[in-house]
Structure 1
Amino acid sequence: MTPVLKIMKGDTDLMVGMLPYFVSATFTDNAGETDDEFEIELDDNFRQIPIPQEDDLLIVFAGWRETGVPMIGAFKVNGWETGCEQGPETIKITARAATMAGDFKAGGLKHWHDSTLGQILEETAKAAGLSLAIDPELAKVKLPYALRWEASPIDFANRIAAEAGGTAKPGGQKLAVTKRGSGKGADGGELPPILITRTGCAGWRIKGEPRPRHGKIEVSWHDPKTGKRKSIRYSTGAKGPTHTLLHPRASEDEAKRAAEAHSRKLNMLTGGGHFMWPYNPAWSAGAKVIASGFGDGVDGTWLSESIATTWAKGQPVLSTITVKAPAEAKGGES
């Protein structure tokens, strides 16, 4: 099939003028808090490429001529780098996923009592000029108190979403909040799984990391009825020592959520690596990766952390899918 890459600035396709100087372009789709990124490398041996303007808006389309060329994102230029190392002098232009709203990094002060995570993040997103897309399960989480103290909307959203086991990422006109390691999108539905087989795989490397395994998570909380500190223990489903979270929570429910969220995070640290596969624009970072034909230790379900796709002259268009171990295990309160 024929790969197609279009980089639009306004009504102009920059690839038309860039083509004689084009070296490569890489799109990295990240799950979780990290912004998606787009990078272009151009032959600049005679310094003929003008320095890009910060915050230039680039709309990128990528796919295959035979099956369609969807938009993969809107990006704002945030840097450039020029130099020469064992080859022609080049310039690299980097851009991050654009938030089509006001300043999402501005500080602020606000507090909430007896609100749901959905209500809090709805107001937080609105203050930044964004709409909210949140997993319905996360939206229902009740918080007795939340304080945003001189924190930007995105930093605050990341913090309280993480406490409930989620991740928050702005892009376009939305703040998307998903459950960490669930393989689901912001609507709560399963993302299309990424099917990887040994036959057809351009490369892979997977390793196990047994050291972070813990058998239980212990979290303390304050009981307002007795004025005493209590604690719960949550089984991770693995074997190992108990991991204690330092800061006490305001309620038993918060303690349980924190324990479950930390359990999922630790489980994902027990293995990981990457697979290389021909680019598929339908795939999204955060989806489950189902590997087969590789053998024991590799076959099974993984979670995609990022998908980095590179276009280069004369080279096949391949995606490097970075994976982590699944977050789920047969655990629970103990």
Structure 2
Amino acid sequence: MTTGYTPIYRIMKDNEDITGNFNDRTLQIRVDLQAGDGNDDQCTIIVDDRDWRVVRPLNGDVIGIWLGYVEVGMAYMGSFELSDITFLGPPRQIKLLGKSTGTNDIQKAPAIREFDNKSVGDILGQMAGQTGLGLSISGDLSGFKIPFKNQGNVSNLHLLNELERLTGAVAKVVDGKLMFIKRDGGETASGVALPTLVLLPEHFGTWEVRYTSKPGYGQVKASWFDKDEMVRKWVGAGITSGDGVGLANKFGGAFNIGQLFNSQEEAQRAAQSQAENFQRAEVTAKFDLAKGDPWIRDQQTLLVTGMRDAINGSYVISKATHTYIKSTGIKSEFECKLPGTGVDYAEASTEFMRPGPGELLGEYLRTHPNVNPGDLSQDDINAINQGGFVQ
């Protein structure tokens, strides 16, 4: 196992490696990989413009970013369309902001005006088609029908957020493809199970795990219309707190979803999805790794062990931030939540990745053939945004 790592990066534009244009000038590259909820993958690059000789970047330019280490290789961060360029001084600098390629197309596309009783697959297919994006959707989510009518000009982003909420999914654009996958599912869009990453105290620089009391609801209820009996019926899903205590024992109240669903199955899915959202909100964690590891992504399932109770346990990364800083190297920070299903990955997972202290996930993948990225299809690799484990 390598103990010392030399940080490197790569920037591509129009299939041309332009890293050499940045090597003496890049002060910082930050990439935020986010698991939906209205948030996009983004990049921020700060360039030294001390002599005003940097060629002017333009809004709309598309760049690909890799971060990694000489001794291991580089992990693909994604492609980003520049959307905001700021010239600063003193000192003379250029700040570039970019969003995952295709995100701006979703935002600018005409809103879908009619989706009453359409399925998720129909709506996302129409949205992707009118923006020229590819589409990757988990099969069990595709047939869910929308229980409400379009009222006014609802934006595409607002509609995606609604679909996430009702189905328990993650909606995001990655490399020009609209992804819609099960949240906390531990699987890619095509159903391939992803191993759970096991982290020990030696992997962390700092940590913060916060338990927040959110009283009010012990369950979520949703209704559907029984066409045979011509009556409205209700189903429910219980909410369990982060301490494993049912809030219904304390408060007993129910959160009622306003929409009337098409079937009992869809009402039950919506109730379960909202219950999982409440459960995720009770425990949040922030982990700063001792060694930056850009191979770790949003929606990665984690098992933290070797620490105290209330820190040990199962988590899902909702936001992964990887930052290359010229003076210090690569830093990785994660914002995490409990899995909404309350699953214990120590018992539920069938495959684990266990990097040693100081070892990067990228090196672990390279040296453990039983965890073979070659088993994943290209769509799978795109789904977890890890195109090229070792470059």
Which of 138, 143, 146 lines up with 1:135 in the alignment? 138
Equivalent pair of 2:199/2:303 in contact (CA under 8 Å) = yes
Aligned to 2:353: none
- Give the secondary structure class of the aligned counterpart of 1:59: strand
| Equivalent-residue separation in structure 2 for 1:17 and 1:31 (angstroms) | 32
Aligned to 1:3: 7
Which of 332, 335, 338 lines up with 1:322 in the alignment? 335
- Return the TM-score normalized by structure 2: 0.74
Which of 281, 297, 304 lines up with 2:317 in the alignment? 304
Aligned to 1:294: 307
Equivalent pair of 2:12/2:65 in contact (CA under 8 Å) = yes
Equivalent pair of 1:108/1:148 in contact (CA under 8 Å) = no
1:243 aligns with 2:254: yes
Q: Cα distance, 1:107 vs. partner?
A: 1.9
Aligned to 2:389: none
Aligned to 1:31: 35
Aligned to 2:25: 21
Query: What is the alpha-carbon root mean square deviation over aligned residues?
Result: 2.9
Equivalent position amino acid for 1:285 in 2 = D
Equivalent pair of 1:105/1:154 in contact (CA under 8 Å) = no
TM-aligned CA distance change 1:212 to 1:53, over 3 Å: farther
1:173 aligns with 2:176: yes
Equivalent pair of 2:165/2:274 in contact (CA under 8 Å) = no
TM-aligned CA distance change 1:49 to 1:173, over 3 Å: closer
1:52 aligns with 2:60: no
Equivalent position amino acid for 2:329 in 1 = P
CA deviation profile, 1:82-107 (whole Å, cap 9, x unmatched): 446xx845332111111199565322
Percent identical pairs in the alignment equals 22
Which of 122, 125, 137 lines up with 2:125 in the alignment? 122
| Equivalent-residue separation in structure 1 for 2:126 and 2:163 (angstroms) | 13
| Equivalent-residue separation in structure 1 for 2:216 and 2:306 (angstroms) | 27
Which of 280, 283, 300 lines up with 1:271 in the alignment? 283
Q: Report the more deviating stretch, 212-221 or 88-97.
A: 212-221
- Give the secondary structure class of the aligned counterpart of 2:132: coil
- Return the TM-score normalized by structure 1: 0.85
| Equivalent-residue separation in structure 1 for 2:159 and 2:173 (angstroms) | 12
Q: Flag the structure with higher strand content.
A: 1
Q: Cα distance, 1:229 vs. partner?
A: 3.8
Task: Give matches, 1:64-79, under 5 Å.
Answer: 64-79=69-84
| Equivalent-residue separation in structure 1 for 2:313 and 2:284 (angstroms) | 12
Q: Give ranges in structure 1 of 5+ residues lacking alignment.
A: none
Equivalent position amino acid for 2:25 in 1 = Y
| Equivalent-residue separation in structure 2 for 1:122 and 1:51 (angstroms) | 37
Equivalent pair of 1:311/1:317 in contact (CA under 8 Å) = yes
Q: Report the more deviating stretch, 227-236 or 166-175.
A: 227-236
| Equivalent-residue separation in structure 1 for 2:187 and 2:292 (angstroms) | 21
Q: Report the more deviating stretch, 218-227 or 180-189.
A: 218-227
TM-aligned CA distance change 1:124 to 1:283, over 3 Å: same
Aligned to 1:191: 194
| Equivalent-residue separation in structure 2 for 1:4 and 1:52 (angstroms) | 22
1:255 aligns with 2:267: yes
| Equivalent-residue separation in structure 1 for 2:79 and 2:169 (angstroms) | 24
Equivalent pair of 1:115/1:145 in contact (CA under 8 Å) = no
| Equivalent-residue separation in structure 1 for 2:238 and 2:106 (angstroms) | 41
Equivalent pair of 2:225/2:231 in contact (CA under 8 Å) = yes
Equivalent pair of 1:213/1:270 in contact (CA under 8 Å) = no
Equivalent position amino acid for 2:76 in 1 = M
Q: Cα distance, 1:184 vs. partner?
A: 2.7
Q: Report the more deviating stretch, 96-105 or 228-237.
A: 96-105
- Give the secondary structure class of the aligned counterpart of 1:199: helix
Aligned to 2:359: none
CA deviation profile, 1:261-282 (whole Å, cap 9, x unmatched): 1011111001112112233343
Equivalent pairs, count: 328
Q: Cα distance, 1:153 vs. partner?
A: 4.3
Q: Cα distance, 1:7 vs. partner?
A: 1.3
CA deviation profile, 1:130-162 (whole Å, cap 9, x unmatched): 222112222243557765964454543442343
| Equivalent-residue separation in structure 2 for 1:147 and 1:191 (angstroms) | 36
Q: Cα distance, 1:211 vs. partner?
A: 1.9
